Structure 1
Amino acid sequence: MTSQLLCKSFSMDVVEAFKSTWFWIFQKKGMKKESIEVTSDRQVRKDTRYSRTFLSLPVLEQEMSTSYQPLWRMKITDAIIYVSGDDNCIQGIESATGICQKERQTSSGNSPDDFTVDVTGEIIYVDWKERHVCRFKDTGEIESLLKLRGWKPWAVCCSISGDILVAMRSEDTKHARVVGYQGHVKTREYKLDHRRQALFGSPIFLTENGNLDVCVSDSQYNRVTVIDCKGSLKFHYHGNQAMTMYPTFYPRGIATNSQCDILVSDQENNCVHIIDHMGQFIRFISSKEIPLKAPYCIQVGSEDELYVGEYHQGTIKKIRYLQ
């Protein structure tokens, strides 16, 4: 009995120490469990290049036009910006000049519903109509990586661990999930939360954060869902903190920066929400600061610069928002 009391007392002392150090974190129930998760996340943040602060006002540094109206998807790699729209091509645009340097065409002739670029520089895209996940090889050939049965892929990204994450909906549109693959082997699956409720309705964009969280924007539930590295629901972000300015929330593109903040484009409200890795609202990049019109796809560059693709205009805007 004495030993148990001592262990309990020691555990309480540890929790109190966490409270005194990071008092702002402990505002919800389940404090001890949350403190462990936050400690892990904070360690990842310490491993980033350096800590940065927000500019008082964001700065529009560059603006370039594309041939896509609408502009659906965008990926940033080194000096090339890859974009796609409602044709069967993925174009590579030189960021310094805005000149198209590369163009790849899908094997089916369908529009690529989403694409990503792996560590080797090869493009992986999803074809919703054909239920395919394909890769453009350096040789110019197109390799079929996956042929899904009963599911249609909608979004894709490459994870830090090396597998490919694919967001998909069932053919009857009643179910949705995110699945990781190494080759044809399924490595993980996110579909239901701990209450057996659906995590996703219509996952439209996804990315992986630097702390290994999987971040998904959902056009059916109008929310952002974040799954932690253990596969558990971490939080849903509904834009509630921002409703004093915007009563609705229409999340589309999603990206993360070196500090594990999550950036989400809000197409209807012409702004970008920035939240931290625990789902707490930080700030907007709004159309009052930067002229944004229907921001859709977004990406963060190697220096934390934000690229915003405007859906109807087909314009890409490079924005500096961190010092």
Structure 2
Amino acid sequence: MDPRTSAQDVMRCDLCETAVVQMHCDTCLVNMCKACVGEHISTDESKDHKIVKFQSRKSTPLYPGCATHDKERCEMYCKQCDIPVCNTCIASDQHLGHKFFTILQILNEKKNKIIKEHTELKETIYPTYQDIASDVQNRMSQLEKEYGDLSTAITKHGEDWHREIDKLVKKLKAEVDEMKKTQLQTLQKHLDEITKTMSDIRDEIKAVNATIDTNDLSKLFGNKFNIERYQMLPQKIVPSLPKFLPGKIHEKELHDRFGALELSSLTSDKHGYSMKTAQKSPKAGSSPPVKQLLDKPEAVTIIHTGYKDLYHVACLSDEDIWTSGDENIMKLFSINLGSLLKSIRTKSGNEPSDIAVTKSGDLVYIDTNDRTVNIVKNMKIKEVIRLQNWRPRGVCSTSSDDLLVIMVSDDKKTKVVHYSGSTEKQTIQFDDNGKPLYSSGSYITENRILDICVSDREAGEIVVVNQAGKLRFRYTGHTPAPKNKPFSPLGITTDSQSHILTADDNNNCVHIIDQNGQFLRYIECGLSGPMGLCLDTNDNLFVAQWIRRQVKKIKYMQ
């Protein structure tokens, strides 16, 4: 065995290859014994050799060479030019009046940025892809079960028929199997792509770790880690399960009467996933349990509020709700007992234009006449936003506990502003063609995929934009309406399935549409003048009826 390559042997000098390593050149990255130090330095006297003890190697920063002046090292950094510079560069006219920093200062900034990106890859992006992969796997499992149920339903229906329909039963089941195979293959391909991306992210994390540990500044400046391509999450593929439509049993026209399968589909929704966050919420980043809409929604509880006209309702918890109406008093009621627990007057004496509850449980109310947004903490009112030339109309709390406020200017323009505390983070007003998104604004909410949904009563539509403010769709009602009157949207809310629910006081009902704007069904339940809406954590709907001055609790999902 070669003693130099033996794991049992000590390291040898790179020059003489016999003596034990004692010294190291941080400039050239050469290991040597003490006797060979002079020989090493004399081989290239143009370099500033940094000779240190072998145990102290990598202790001396390896400054990058100057791109302009040969044989000079850059120990400073020009902020205006955004490049490393040597002393000769600093003395030249090229950098007169520029601001310089030591390159070690910039090194710390670069390392901090890399560490931050490394943390995002490791703690946010990769876990998000893990959740997405889990979501796809769950959908595949659910698809297997539901297709099995579908096959069972067809078989049961076929048993009631004569032997002549056996061939048709087999044909339909074959269609089911082919649909299932196609959808599962599509989902498997989608999962493979996600898994491949996760592998790429792991490689990127390893590369970042290696870069962080190096003392070679040239490598630090040379390596670029592009995490933007991972921040663009994959599209969400949602299979649409076919339905079996049984027909009545007749001896004639068996093929027509037995039933048929609706065509299945796989839709791709680029807004389907959102980045995993570190918020403390139940099952954060995971898909909610799948729930089904009831064929006949039912009223569970009625709460009498005592207002002359009741406008708004907001859930504080599954037991308590805040309400407001035509008075300057906001009232908190027990849902189960129907009793008044507490009340608070607005600071200005005006009636609130809208109310909401933050994720931390504080009441927020809009004062349109006073041009303010206010928050109630421990029954004390604090003004958080005061507007000029604009009047707030509606408010909601986001998943990140920020506020979305819809407002109208004195010259009748409408926009949505995203606030973090009192600080504006984003303004949404125009579409990609520069045209106004909103004619007016009544109510606003955010769904699970972070779309922003606004009820625009003047235009008779629901306007939905994504998190970046890009228009996704407009919903203008469904025909026939319960009372055949024009769509008049008011209160708006979203549930755990990302359904959008909006009150329609012209037709005394609530519309339910999916996250892509497709109408699903109406909720009527004897509603009269529905206005404000909210949902508790179990997807029970609360409707403020302004005519009857009641809040009606409705169960519409299971």
With normalisation by structure 1, the TM-score equals 0.84
**Once superposed, what is the RMSD of the aligned Cα atoms?**
2.6
Q: Using the alignment, how far apart are the partners of 2:240 and 2:374 within structure 1?
A: 45
Q: Hey, what does 2:362 align to over in structure 1?
A: 122
Q: Using the alignment, how far apart are the partners of 1:267 and 1:170 within structure 2?
A: 25
- Count of residues in correspondence between the two structures: 295
Q: Using the alignment, how far apart are the partners of 1:189 and 1:37 within structure 2?
A: 22
Q: Using the alignment, how far apart are the partners of 2:373 and 2:393 within structure 1?
A: 10
Q: Hey, what does 2:377 align to over in structure 1?
A: 137
| Residue identity matched to 1:274 | I
Alignment of 1:48-197 (within 5 A): 48-78=287-317, 79-138=319-378, 140-173=379-412, 175-197=413-435
1:120 positional shift = 2.4
Tell me, what secondary structure is at the counterpart of 1:68?
A: coil
Tell me, what secondary structure is at the counterpart of 2:468?
A: coil
| Residue identity matched to 1:266 | D
Q: Hey, what does 1:255 align to over in structure 2?
A: 493
Q: Is the 8 A contact 2:373 2:386 kept in 1?
A: yes
Q: Using the alignment, how far apart are the partners of 1:195 and 1:48 within structure 2?
A: 35
Higher strand residue share: 1
Structure number with larger C-alpha Rg: 2
Tell me, what secondary structure is at the counterpart of 2:337?
A: coil
Q: Is the 8 A contact 2:540 2:556 kept in 1?
A: yes
1:238 positional shift = 0.3
Tell me, what secondary structure is at the counterpart of 2:273?
A: helix
1:38 positional shift = 5.0
Alignment of 1:25-64 (within 5 A): 35-40=268-273, 47-64=286-303
Q: Hey, what does 1:317 align to over in structure 2?
A: 552
1:162 positional shift = 2.5
Tell me, what secondary structure is at the counterpart of 2:270?
A: helix
Q: Is the 8 A contact 2:485 2:506 kept in 1?
A: no
1:184 positional shift = 2.5
Identical positions, percent: 32
Q: Using the alignment, how far apart are the partners of 1:81 and 1:162 within structure 2?
A: 19
| Residue identity matched to 1:226 | V
Q: Using the alignment, how far apart are the partners of 1:228 and 1:214 within structure 2?
A: 6
| Residue identity matched to 2:273 | S
Q: Is the 8 A contact 2:481 2:507 kept in 1?
A: no
Q: Is the 8 A contact 2:271 2:449 kept in 1?
A: no
Q: Hey, what does 1:236 align to over in structure 2?
A: 474
1:165 positional shift = 0.8
1:241 positional shift = 5.1
Q: Hey, what does 1:216 align to over in structure 2?
A: 454
Q: Deviations over 1:249-270 (max 9, x none)?
A: 0001111111000011110101
Alignment of 1:236-315 (within 5 A): 236-240=474-478, 242=480, 246-286=484-524, 290-315=525-550
Q: Deviations over 1:273-299 (max 9, x none)?
A: 00000000011112xxx1111111111
The alpha-carbon distance between structure 1 residues 184 and 202, as it changes in their structure 2 partners (threshold 3 A), is same
Q: Deviations over 1:165-190 (max 9, x none)?
A: 111000122x0001011122211111
1:300 positional shift = 1.3
Tell me, what secondary structure is at the counterpart of 1:291?
A: coil
Q: Deviations over 1:123-153 (max 9, x none)?
A: 1111101101111121x33211111011000
Q: Using the alignment, how far apart are the partners of 1:85 and 1:245 within structure 2?
A: 26
Q: Which blocks of at least 5 consecutive residues in structure 1 are unaligned? A: 1-13, 26-33
Q: Is the 8 A contact 1:165 1:178 kept in 2?
A: yes
Q: Hey, what does 1:10 align to over in structure 2?
A: none
1:242 positional shift = 4.7
Q: Hey, what does 1:30 align to over in structure 2?
A: none
Q: Is the 8 A contact 1:45 1:259 kept in 2?
A: no
Tell me, what secondary structure is at the counterpart of 2:395?
A: strand
Q: Is the 8 A contact 1:242 1:281 kept in 2?
A: no
| Residue identity matched to 1:158 | S
Q: Using the alignment, how far apart are the partners of 1:104 and 1:202 within structure 2?
A: 29
The alpha-carbon distance between structure 1 residues 103 and 278, as it changes in their structure 2 partners (threshold 3 A), is same
Q: Is the 8 A contact 1:275 1:282 kept in 2?
A: yes
1:119 positional shift = 2.2
Q: Using the alignment, how far apart are the partners of 2:422 and 2:299 within structure 1?
A: 42
1:36 positional shift = 4.5
Q: Is the 8 A contact 2:501 2:513 kept in 1?
A: yes
1:62 positional shift = 1.1
The alpha-carbon distance between structure 1 residues 85 and 39, as it changes in their structure 2 partners (threshold 3 A), is closer
Q: Using the alignment, how far apart are the partners of 2:409 and 2:373 within structure 1?
A: 15
Q: Using the alignment, how far apart are the partners of 1:69 and 1:255 within structure 2?
A: 24
Higher relative contact order (CA 8 A, sep 6+): 1
Tell me, what secondary structure is at the counterpart of 2:290?
A: coil
Q: Using the alignment, how far apart are the partners of 2:284 and 2:482 within structure 1?
A: 30
Tell me, what secondary structure is at the counterpart of 2:442?
A: strand
Q: Is the 8 A contact 2:509 2:530 kept in 1?
A: yes
The alpha-carbon distance between structure 1 residues 303 and 24, as it changes in their structure 2 partners (threshold 3 A), is closer
The alpha-carbon distance between structure 1 residues 208 and 242, as it changes in their structure 2 partners (threshold 3 A), is farther
The alpha-carbon distance between structure 1 residues 177 and 316, as it changes in their structure 2 partners (threshold 3 A), is same
Q: Using the alignment, how far apart are the partners of 1:244 and 1:292 within structure 2?
A: 11
Q: Is the 8 A contact 1:271 1:292 kept in 2?
A: yes
Q: Hey, what does 1:29 align to over in structure 2?
A: none
1:39 positional shift = 4.2
Q: Is the 8 A contact 1:295 1:309 kept in 2?
A: yes
The alpha-carbon distance between structure 1 residues 194 and 243, as it changes in their structure 2 partners (threshold 3 A), is farther
Q: Is the 8 A contact 1:206 1:216 kept in 2?
A: yes
The alpha-carbon distance between structure 1 residues 53 and 46, as it changes in their structure 2 partners (threshold 3 A), is farther
| Residue identity matched to 2:553 | K
